[in-house]
Chains A and B, each alone.
Chain A
């Protein structure tokens, strides 16, 4: 095509090209950006799988299991699970002492962190820490409450003619 010959079409070309450029280049940029986001998401999935496989599958050891394996565990840090033994909780200047139990095996615990608000006797807890001799030195208490929900005051509803509503 001779640019000088067909003046109208030739003058149109840059305009059309600019239109095309406007349509194609942002699209390419958009594609690159979108693929970058996909790559970030894939990396995030990889990270979560790594964390999941590393921490989640054996999230805690039961008190009984850990007590039996304590020679093997040494002073390594791990999570220990058990039910807080009633009457064993004693607040000390450096934290709180108590015992946890599972499968009739009781483990003495010395905790240096602030217990969460639901910490109480008979509640399952997961502790982060390590054995020091026969005592488990805990640096974190997590309460593992049950999936049962029971009304705190089931009889608070008024009665009519002596019968509960």
Chain B
């Protein structure tokens, strides 16, 4: 069950996230100046790079959770649940990255979408982690699911540095990194830079809040599964003869499958 401390810390994180997002909205829409080239379009910078960063962060957490599960000394199902929860939040933020990028791209570039390396590898990242989540839905026991998911999660993570470096390694329509560039020198003016930084912090808090919620749900789902399993075992123990005669049982199941003959 959820502890009081966990509930309060989650609420506190949510409250801080709300305040920071509100501050980012106010600064981003009303206080910061327009850009000399992009004009008002620049305001999307306070959302688009932060949500992309959160997607990277989420997949990083998924990878850490996966490694901790695969490593026998730290193996615990909670790492698997953390990895899965973070991947789910990461997929939402990758989707937001693609949507906000597209909204920004139409007026700035002139197209909603183009097959350049940055956009293609980001779409690939989205699909890879959708695949990770789909793989988790394939019925299996908890350990088997955790192992195969951890391996899939680590393979998918290979795409994260490729996405980030795509604008450096290949010719792209997408511009190079403004903040996380090779020299780590932000190429953005003062109050715009501060608001962008605030956006990064705000969306990181949103991520932490969402992760805490999702992890809690995943933990509860696991508890329900455990209870169901216990009930099933108890049921079997109560009716041992009914289950032991497999031939009769199979026959009965077959009879249920067949339409009744008059």
Given contacts A16-B239, A31-B139, A56-B117, contact A149 B192 (CB under 8 A): yes
Assembly CA distance A126 to B111 (angstroms): 11
Q: Which of A16, A115, A150 contacts B36 (CB 8 A)?
A: A150
**A→B interface (CB under 8 Å):** 1, 3, 9, 12-14, 16-18, 20-21, 23, 27, 30-31, 34-35, 37-38, 41-42, 44-45, 48-49, 51-52, 54-60, 81, 115-120, 123, 126, 140-154, 156
**B→A interface (CB under 8 Å):** 32-39, 41-42, 45, 107-111, 114-117, 120-121, 123-124, 127-128, 130-131, 134-135, 137-139, 166, 170-173, 175-178, 181, 187-192, 232, 239, 241-243, 245, 248-249, 252-253, 255-257
Contact, CB under 8 Å: A59 / B109: no
Contact, CB under 8 Å: B127 / A41: yes
Contact, CB under 8 Å: B256 / A21: yes
Contact, CB under 8 Å: B131 / A41: yes
Assembly CA distance A156 to B189 (angstroms): 14
Contact, CB under 8 Å: B45 / A149: yes
CB<8 Å pairs between A and B, sample of 9: A17-B252, A34-B134, A38-B138, A45-B124, A55-B120, A56-B115, A144-B109, A149-B192, A150-B37
Determine the residue in chain A with the shortest Cβ distance to B109: A142
Find chain B residues with CB under 8 A from A152 CB.
33-36, 39
Contact, CB under 8 Å: B109 / A17: no
Determine the residue in chain A with the shortest Cβ distance to B250: A17
- Chain A proximity of B32: nearest CB distance (Å): 8
Determine the residue in chain A with the shortest Cβ distance to B140: A31
- Chain A proximity of B151: nearest CB distance (Å): 14
- Chain A proximity of B34: nearest CB distance (Å): 5
Find chain B residues with CB under 8 A from A147 CB.
175-178, 181, 187
Assembly CA distance A18 to B172 (angstroms): 59
Contact, CB under 8 Å: B131 / A38: yes
Assembly CA distance A116 to B42 (angstroms): 15
